[in-house]
Structure 1
Amino acid sequence: MRVRIYSDLHVEFASQPKLDFEGTVDDDLVVLAGDIHTKGRGVSWAQDAFSVPVVYICGNHEFYKGHIDRTLQSMKRSAAGTNVHVLDNESMTIGDLRILGACAWTDFSSKGSVYQSSLEARSVMNDFRLIRAGEEYRKLRIDDIIRRNHQTYDYLSQELARGFDGKTLVVTHHCPLVEFSGPEKDSELMPAYSNEWPELVGQADYWVFGHTHHRVDAMVAGCRLISNPRGYPGEKCGFDQEFVLEII
């Protein structure tokens, strides 16, 4: 099986160079690991860009200038019955490949002090200014993110424990291991970019993620960890448009 992997394409920026996806017609699956477009527009973009099945995981930017729950619902409605599959704490199977997908978020604990890390994130990250939540359409809060992160951890723990007679691919937007959190690894913001889930990574065959804007292709505890982000206009992240994961 040929799996094309992309994340952080950020097509919402008008200055972002156009990409040619003609080569993907020979692929069996395209994985989009979040931060493709804002306000749910990534679904229609993916429908136009790809003719093969697409697994689409939301990143934080998908929710910018929108509501965290309503945007996801809108994306799912737009994707229903098409080649694009929007997964959030959900799974699907293609042949002998099981795919578990979730944005993941973080609970800000990967550096030790949840209070200090969340304070830093809230003060500088656009998520808390541009994403709305709750019935009252209020600004996103730290506790909203932590709750979603814990739900994803529980979901992945349960699903990975079930076992599967085939290969398992986990797709999250946020990084599952601090070691691979890229340029933010030693910064106060690192806990907003990465979880520390070695006990989960070791149960998957492949784990695809984004968010860090740092290319990764590494083996960890029997799991191949992959990130292939394009990043912001002009940013050099190690992006390889032709990268394909071959699953045998």
Structure 2
Amino acid sequence: MALPITPAPGIDVLVLAGDIDRHAAAIDHYADYLVPVVYVHGNPECYEAEFGPLVSELRQRAGCASVRFLEKEECVIWSVRFVGGCLWTDYHAYPLRFKETVEHARMPMLDHRKTGRNPNNFFQPEDAIAEHQAALTFWRSEFGGHFWGRLLW
């Protein structure tokens, strides 16, 4: 359980960059934090949950708190632009062994044994690849525009 950390003196924003707690618990822990919180979920938040509904729940619960949940989204706090989203495993990192890597990860990797895609199926490497590509596409489109301020991603 990720109980709220004590803010450092002079802190303006707290960034929680994944692997914080199960499901939407991090939002509950930081809902009334002393400074704005920017939160990007990690893969373990999705364990024992369905990916799509969990992202919807995270977004909905953050909307009722002082937490800005980012999943292929951005927010601006005091002229600083935060761009975020979960970046799932990049199976294309080893192109010469792509097929072998995907098949090897299918069962032993926790992301694919503990994350649901829907009630009848687990989140497969192909789902991770699609989410990874969607995040990269989003970031490329966001970084292509002009923004007069600082950028954190």
- State how far apart, in whole Å, the 2-side matches of 1:20 and 1:145 are: 29
1:138 aligned onto 2:138:
no
Give the counterpart of 2:112 among 121, 128, 135. Answer: 128
Separation in structure 2 between the aligned mates of residue 60 and residue 84 of structure 1, nearest angstrom: 19
Q: Point out the structure with the larger helix share.
A: 2
Report the equivalent of 1:92: 75
The share of aligned pairs that are identical, in percent, is 26
Contact residue 108 and residue 118 of structure 1 kept, 8 A: yes
Matched, 1:68 2:51: yes
- The separation in 2 between residues aligned to 1:81 and 1:104, in whole angstroms, is 25
TM superposition shift of 1:26: 3.4
TM-score calculated relative to the size of structure 1:
0.57
Distance in 2, matches of 1:84 and 1:20, equals 12
Normalized against structure 2, the TM-score is what? 0.90
Q: Matches of residues 31-46 of structure 1 in structure 2 within 5 Å?
A: 31-46=15-30
Query: What secondary structure is seen at the aligned counterpart in 2 of 1:98?
Result: strand
- Amino acid in the other structure paired with 1:126: L
**Aligned residue for 1:177?**
none
CA contact (8 A) 1:107 1:149 kept: yes
Residue 103 of structure 1, aligned match among 80, 86, 92: 86
Aligned length, in residue pairs: 152
**1:21 is aligned with what amino acid?**
I
Q: Matched residues in 2 for 1:41 and 1:140: separation?
A: 21
| Paired residue secondary structure (1:105) | coil
Which letter maps to 1:150? Q
Separation in 1, partners of 2:8, 2:120: 39
Could you say which residue in structure 2 is the equivalent of 1:55? 38
1:83 alignment counterpart: 66
* RMSD over aligned Cα atoms: 1.8
Contact 2:116 2:122 (8 Å CA) reproduced:
yes
The DSSP-based 3-state class of the residue aligned with 1:162 is coil
Structure 1's 80 and 24: CA in aligned 2 closer, same or farther, altered over 3 A?
farther
Aligned residue identity for 1:91: E
Structure 1: runs of 5 or more not aligned? 1-10, 13-18, 171-248
- Quick one: structure 1 residues 128 and 69, their matched pair in 2 at CA, closer, same or farther if it must change by over 3 Å? same
Q: Any residues of structure 2 matched to 1:68-217 within 5 Å, and which?
A: 68-112=51-95, 113-134=97-118, 136-170=119-153
User: Distance between the aligned counterparts of 1:56 and 1:44, measured in 2?
Assistant: 12
